[in-house]
Amino acid sequence: MPRPVIDSLTGLLTRESFHSRAGEIPPGGLAVAWFNLDNFKMFNKRFGFSRGDEILKEIALILGNIFPSSKSLIARFSDDNFVVLTDWATVETCIDTAQEYLYALHENVTLRLRAGIYFPSDDDDIRSSCDRAKLACDSIRKNHSVSSCMFHDGMSRELALQQHILDFLESSMKLGNITVLYQPIVRLSTGKICEAEALARWNDPEIGIISPAKFIPTLEQYREIHKLDIYAMRNVCADYKIRREAGLPLLPVSVNLSRLDFELCDIIEEIESAVSLCGIPRKMMRIEITESINDEDMTALNLGIEKFRMMGYEVWMDDFGSGYSSLNVLKDYSFDTIKFDMKFLHGFDVNKSEKAKYIISSNLEMARLMGMQALAEGVETEEQLEYLRSIGFDKAQGYYFGRPMGLDEIFALERGIETAVE
């Protein structure tokens, strides 16, 4: 079946038809503008998806009325992302006018039509031009003092890094440039290590260390994250098997999954295959899923979580408190442990941060009432540790206990291992 040329909701071009038609336009004197609607997911949750669809149709009409049809191509790429190819001389004025129209229509609702601009050279193809405009748009996501931004050379380096990550992911896994390290998790009642978290680290021979803060969002954005997560799980299983066959003590290990894994592959089958091949009891594995889940993922993810738990895996929620939907997540999903986001502890001073203390203790009490254990991540000082212990946290991890290291190194730490058997 041929792909649609027109977006059924807005009547604009689709991504594919936009790319096709843009390729027929002679280069020179053009600009690409990438638009994103801030707070759109929160708008849908508050007012409903039907109202959200009306907003998207309004934006399509605004863009169609402002950008001259004889000189412009307008498309809806996905969700609340719109792209315009237009005359470079008028693009900034048109963007400002579009934002003013949206504000005038919805004065009492916080909606910002954020835009990124790129001026293609004669050698640029339309896809790379759109990527650059998107990067400019994304760069002001957290800067609410501006509504538009032009692509600059610094963003080129960011785009080049993203491309390098995508191009070399599979070869880096094959060559072992991506490794799995382990960070100890301590049970506060005993002070001993009770578990470890597996963390992927990338040491690229060409550009050096690539931060997880760079490669994980990139792989999620381009829907390649499942490849890394499966690779990490298989490495964990291989490390476990080596120690088991040598008769060495073992620890339960937590592995991180993206919510996208449940869409992009049969992640349960992938994990079951790796675990069975290496003879790992399910009770020794913990599945960590980030809090950044939304209504669109509800059914598939919830079924996946429940299936993991029924099969004997513990399921943890990672980065609790990092987003806006913490309470909804706890209401809609079942977890064995919640990990409190390290931002709770950033700059934490128990003698000065009364609000921080109240937030932490009240969320801990909520976890207890719901039958879940609570783990604090990001612990860096003795002061933080003593406070967390005093209010009853079950577990903690962070640089205070140790940075990510080899699995054998964890067993050599002086702190000792609480449970060193299968």
Which domains occur in the chain, in start order?
A: 15-151 (3.30.70.270), 161-411 (3.20.20.450)
Identify each DSSP E strand in 306-416 by its residue range.
314-320, 337-340, 373-376, 395-396
Greatest CA separation for the chain: 74
* pLDDT, position 150: 94
From first to last of its 422 residues, the chain has per-residue pLDDT tens of: 456 689 999 999 999 999 999 988 877 889 999 999 987 877 887 788 898 899 999 999 999 999 977 779 999 998 899 999 999 988 999 999 998 888 887 766 677 899 999 999 888 899 999 999 999 998 888 777 788 999 988 887 888 898 899 999 999 999 999 999 999 999 999 999 999 999 999 999 999 999 999 999 899 988 899 999 999 999 999 999 999 999 999 999 999 999 889 888 999 999 999 999 998 999 999 999 875 554 454 677 788 889 999 999 999 988 776 654 456 667 777 889 999 876 666 656 655 567 767 777 888 888 888 888 999 998 988 888 988 888 889 999 999 999 999 999 999 988 888 865 55
* pLDDT, position 1: 40
Residues counted in the chain: 422
369 token code pair: 């009432």
User: Angle 200-373-349 (CA atoms, 0-180°, nearest 5)?
Assistant: 80
Identify each DSSP E strand in 59-207 by its residue range.
73-78, 81-87, 113-118, 148-150, 178-187, 192-204
Beta-sheet strand order (sheet of 148-150)? 73-78, 81-87, 30-37, 113-118, 148-150
* pLDDT, position 104: 82
Give 143-147 contacts, CB < 8 A, sequence gap 24+.
144/112, 147/95, 147/96, 147/99, 147/112, 147/113, 147/114, 147/115
How does strand 148-150 pair with strand 178-187? unpaired
184 token code pair: 């100890």
Neighbouring-strand partners of residue 76? 82
* pLDDT, position 167: 93
Handedness of CA 339, 344, 345, 349 (dihedral sign): negative
CA–CA distances in Å: residue 171 to residues 177, 202, 231, 357, 395: 8, 12, 12, 46, 37
Provide the angle, in degrees to the nearest 10, between the axes of the packed helices 153-175 and 212-221: 90
Is 281 in a helix, a strand, or coil? coil
CA–CA distances in Å: residue 170 to residues 176, 227, 228, 406: 10, 8, 9, 22
397 token code pair: 């991890």
Write the CB contacts of 391 (distance below 8 Å, at least 6 apart in sequence).
Answer: 360, 361, 364
* pLDDT, position 4: 66
In the chain, what is the straight-line distance between the N-terminal and C-terminal CA atoms, in Å? 52
Residue with tokens 């960070």: 183
Question: DSSP label at 69?
Answer: T
